[in-house]
Structures are given as C-alpha cells and as structure tokens.
Amino acid sequence: MTGADVALAARTAVRLRPSQVAHRARLRAQRAALRRWPRAGRRLLAGPDPAGARGWPRGFAPLDARAGLGWPGLAGLAGGRIEALGIARDLGDPPDWEQAGAPRLWRFHLHYWDWAWGLAAEPDRAAARAAFAALWRSWRSAVTFGRGDAWLPYPAALRAWAWCGQHRPLVAGGELEREFTAELAAHCGFLRRHLEADVGGNHLIKNLKALAGLAVFFGDERLLRRALGRLAGQAAVQVLPDGGHYERAPAYHCQVLADLIDVAGLAAAAGIAAPSELAVLTGAIGRMRGWLGQVLLPGGQVPLLNDGYPVPAALVAACRPGPAPARPLVVLPGSGLARATAGGWHLLADVGAPCPDELPAHAHADPLGCLVHLDGAPLLVDTGTSGYEPGPVRSYERSTSAHSTVQVDGADSTEVWGAFRAGRRARVRDLTAREDAGRIIIEASHDGFRRLPGNPVHRRRWTLTARELLITDEVTGSGRHQVAATWHLSPGTLVRIEPDLAGRAAGGGAGVPWCRSAVLTAGGPGGPAVAVTLRASSPALLQAGSAPVASGFARTVPAPVLTCRVDAALPVQLEVRLRRVTGTGPGRPAGEAS
C-alpha cells in the first residue's frame, strides 16, 4: 500500500463514529471464531426454543409475496435453476451452493431465498413443497453455520424473513417442519448478535426487520419489543424530515420503505401493542411515501441517483407513493433534491450531500448533476449502477465523468474509491430556489475540487421556463485548469452538431463568447427535438461520443454523450441552452458530428 493509499483510507476512516469501529472489530472477531469453531458457535448462539414456534398470522402477506415481482416458478426451480438479477444459473447435480464463478451480488441473492416466493404461489402445492424441501435440505447440508457469503448478516437477515413467510405455504405440517423451525431458531440466535451497527443504513434496517419477523414467528415478546424499539430509533435517524432516506439513493429509499411497510403490516396482523414504536414507523412510512411521489420521473420510474438500479414498477406501486406535486417547484433540502416543471419540461437537480458522513457506501461523485425529461421522454439521464464488484466499471459509474455535471482537471468531486468508500466529499452550499416572473431558478455551489491548486469552486444555475432550460456553470478560483462539462443523453438519442460558429453569428469581435450548437432528438426518431446552444468564456472543444448506461445488473447499453472542454485560466463560464424545436429533420447518431 502506498502513502497515497494510506492517506485516502485515513480520510475515509476519520468520518466513522468510534462505535462503528468497535462494532466492526467485534463482528470480525465473531466471524473469525465461527469459521474456526462453527459447531460450538451454533451452540453458543442458540436462539429460541423451536418447539414454541407459532408462525406468522394467516392474514399477513409481505410485499415480496403479493407485489407480483415475477419470481421464478416450479418449472425452473424444480430442476435446480435459480434466476436472480436477470441471470439464471444451474446449481448442478449435486447442487453447488457456493457458485464461486458468479458475481458476489448474485451469490448474495442466491442465499436470500426470496426467489422461492414463486413456489409459495404455485397452484400445485404438493409439487411446490417437494421442490422446496429438496432445495432446502441441499442448502442445509452444503452450507456451514457462520461461514461464507450465506452467513454474512445481510443475506442471513433476508433469508430469515423469507423463510418465516414461506413457512406456512411450503413447510407447515410437513416432515420438514421440525428441521426448518430449528434452523430459523439458529438464524434468530445468529442475527441478534450480529446486527450490522458498524454499517448501519439499510443493512441495519434489514437486520432489525428480520428479528421482528423471527420474534413474531417464535412468540418472543421481549425480542419483539427490542427489535421494534431499535427499528423505531433507526427510522427516526434514517428518514429525513423531508421524507427521504438518508443514504440519498432513491432505489434504497424504496427498499427501506418496503421494509417498514412489511414490519408495520406484520405488527398489525399479529395484534401487537407497541403504540409509540408503531407510531414512529407509521409516521416514517407516510413521509417516505410522500417523498417518493415527489421524485418519481414522468414515466413513474425511480431516478437512478447515487447507487441506482431499475426498481420494478410493481414494487413502486406496492409502496403506494404519494401524489405528484401540483406546484412547479419542490425543494427537498434534507435529501438535496430540487424538482421543477414548466411546459413539457421536467428537471430533477441534485443539490445535496453525496451521503451521510458515516456511510459512503452508495455515494457517487455527482453533485450538481441533473435529470431532464421533455414531454415525458428522457433527455439527460443518470448512468446508474450495473454492479458492485470493485474494478474499472464500478469506479467509472461512481465517478464525476459518469454524471451530467462538471469535472475539473479530471478529478472526482468526491474521492470515491474501492467498491463502497469515499474520502473527501463535496460540500454543497448556497442553495437557493425561487419562482420569478414565469421562470424557475435553482442555484447552488460545491467545493469538491478544493484540494486542487487554486481552490476551484463549481457553481451551477438552472433557469427553467415553458420554452427552454438554461444551465449556467461557473468555475471560480485561480490558475489554469481543464474544465469539462458532460451531458449524458438517453439511449437512442440522435445528435447533430452544427458547424462551428465561434462567435461569428453574433458578429465576432472582442468579448463575444465562443459558441457552438447542436440538435438532439430525444430517444430517437419521433421523440421531441431540442436545439442546444453552448457558449463558453474561452475557446472550447465540443465532442459527441458514447458512454455506457446501466440497464440492469451486469448489463449496460451505449448512449450518446456530449462533452465540452475548456483549458483556460479561472474563472471559466459555460452556458448550455436547451430549447424545444420542430421540423429539424433526422439527427445523426453520436460520433457522427459535423
């Protein structure tokens, strides 16, 4: 490890709370002990008496079971073929539950067992129960307690919740039940001593949700009170006053919202009396639903900000988002988002912190980026997240250049590194938003490039009217720098760059800004056409190219990107004007600039 690596790690670790460090050390020590003495560990971490299992109340079905999420059915699962994240793999004969050749996130999903909800919905109940029993016994014989990916707290929590719900349709009353409830008791003992307080965030919510589910399953009122109390405490911390989840990733907002809905629903079905804790959860659910309704894109999709992946429409609907706001300007200051609409324009601007201080796992270096739609068609997009494996793809998708914002000297505005780490973070300041004489103006700045010579500061202003969107960038500071503004366009968008005007359209002469223009057809032929005019305070290079946009796990599609580069002494100003036009004729794909 080099000195620079040590310094970067130190800048990351300094933001952790001391309790996080202590919990991390404790969990690592416990994990090392379990690897060495798994049988003794299983005895020491014993859970409740399996004989006292009550199961879940008949009137309760979690969102996974009723949201219509397209789980695989009996035909595939009976043959040992597991599909998760859009990728199907054969377990083999005998089944291989390690799947060493699969991406780690896929292996996690394998051990979640949420894919077995498809069996729970099968009309042929006898065949479904037989298939489940065969798979479960195979898993149980192959996986050692406390070892491997299966026994990390997060997969164990999701698996415990799924098994609690799958017990009644697939196990109850059968020959598997005694072994199955004993295994759930072991999960309970493991999880209550392996809460991920070192990570926090959505991981800890999942842990506590599983403990609440296990407590109801085993009728353990003391454990239930503890789980609900801690869950209410986490909801009070993690759900911001504006209703957003504090990790600032809308996809994870949906996960946490669904988790709280499930726990509140289970408590109601079980007739649990915990008024203060449930009141906190109910209030958090209401605020989160309202927030989700305010940030959904025109087509109802969840925006792919920070670590984002396509959230199934069925899950979004099951979360019951609040109505879209009627007013044209909405500012969510805690979450750092501003939404503006005018005419057919829809703007979502990122004007907040990249992550909580102590939890950078899902942060991207994207301050002052934005998503833009016109007449419901995506124009400027976020590139999203296609995977969590450390490497060049993960590094790119978290980088500043992968977002529609400004980069200075090729640096990231937040020092994202590894798969889930971040050192120095951009600090967004001076946020203002107002409606003024038919215009909506949003403005903010950030100091994410302060470590560079001359202390550059990026300031951006969005000015939206029914006719156009004007985006003005200014980078202040001192010294000569390379400033690049990147605009990621939706896949299929056609791009035609016009001949270089270089100020001649305005008559030339001193003080006339450098100018270029282009025509975009959002989403391809038939989409709305947009005229783009770019002005810069110094000579600039406008290039059309292509960049990957995530379309799912381990999947990307090429999409056009416009990049404007200026090499000049600060301050540098860039102005991009997007105006609706008609009758422009067909564009050309990015890369065929004239």
Say which CATH number the domain at 457 has.
2.70.98.70
> How many domains would you assign to the chain?
2
Give the mean pLDDT of 362-385.
Answer: 96
Q: Is residue 5 part of a domain?
A: no
Looking at 250, 284, 318, the residue that finishes a domain is: 318
Q: 298 and 184, same structural domain?
A: yes
Q: Is residue 92 part of a domain?
A: yes
Percentage of the chain beyond pLDDT 90 is 78
The per-residue pLDDT for 313 is 95
Q: 167 and 216, same structural domain?
A: yes
List pLDDT tens digits, range 466-482: 999 999 999 999 999 99
- Residue 586 has a CB neighbour count (10 Å cut-off) of 11
- The total number of residues shown for the chain amounts to 594
List pLDDT tens digits, range 233-280: 999 999 999 999 999 999 999 999 999 999 999 999 999 888 899 999
User: Please, which pLDDT band fits residue 396 given cuts at 50, 70 and 90?
Assistant: very high
Query: Within a 13 Å sphere around the CA of 339, how many CA atoms are in the beta-carbon half?
Result: 17
Q: Is residue 2 part of a domain?
A: no
Q: What tokens were used for 153?
A: 């707290």
564 and 482 Cβ atoms separated by less than 8 Å: no
Q: Mean pLDDT, the chain, as a whole number? A: 92
Q: 271 and 159, same structural domain?
A: yes
Q: Is residue 4 part of a domain?
A: no
Q: Which CATH number belongs to the domain containing residue 234 in this structure?
A: 1.50.10.100
- Residue 582 has a CB neighbour count (10 Å cut-off) of 6
Q: 169 and 89, same structural domain?
A: yes
Is the Cα torsion angle 118, 120, 124, 127 positive or negative in sign?
Answer: positive
Q: How far is CA 427 from CA 211, 256, 561, in A?
A: 37, 26, 26
Give the mean pLDDT of 499-520.
Answer: 55
For the ranges 38-47, 50-59, 122-131, the lowest mean pLDDT is seen at 38-47
pLDDT score of 331 more than 90: yes
131 and 112 Cβ atoms separated by less than 8 Å: no
Q: Which residues contact 398 (CB under 8 A, 6 or more apart)?
A: 363, 364, 365, 412, 416
Q: 120 and 64, same structural domain?
A: yes
Q: 337 and 292, same structural domain?
A: no
Separation of alpha carbons 523 and 544, rounded Å:
16
Q: Is residue 334 part of a domain?
A: yes
For the ranges 133-137, 168-172, 272-276, 469-473, the lowest mean pLDDT is seen at 272-276
Looking at 262, 295, 318, the residue that finishes a domain is: 318
pTM listed for this prediction = 0.93
Q: Is residue 6 part of a domain?
A: no
Q: 206 and 101, same structural domain?
A: yes
Percentage of the chain beyond pLDDT 70 is 95
Looking at 318, 352, 387, the residue that finishes a domain is: 318
List pLDDT tens digits, range 407-444: 999 999 999 999 999 999 999 999 999 998 899 999 99
Measured between its terminal Cα atoms, the distance across the chain in Å is 47
Q: 492 and 350, same structural domain?
A: yes
Q: Is residue 593 part of a domain?
A: no
Q: Going by DSSP bridges, is the β-strand pair 514-521/345-350 parallel, antiparallel, or unpaired?
A: unpaired
Q: 340 and 289, same structural domain?
A: no
Which residue's structure tokens are 């004729």?
585
Q: 488 and 403, same structural domain?
A: yes
Q: 362 and 293, same structural domain?
A: no
User: Please, which pLDDT band fits residue 303 given cuts at 50, 70 and 90?
Assistant: very high
The per-residue pLDDT for 13 is 86
575 and 527 Cβ atoms separated by less than 8 Å: no
411 and 449 Cβ atoms separated by less than 8 Å: yes
Which residue's structure tokens are 């415990």?
160
Give the mean pLDDT of 10-19.
Answer: 88
What are the phi and psi torsion angles at 536 (to 5°)? Answer: -135, 155
Q: Is residue 1 part of a domain?
A: no
pLDDT score of 67 more than 60: yes
Q: DSSP secondary structure string, 212-235?
A: HHHHHHHT-HHHHHHHHHHHHHHH
Q: 282 and 401, same structural domain?
A: no
Q: Give the domain extent around 39.
A: 15-318
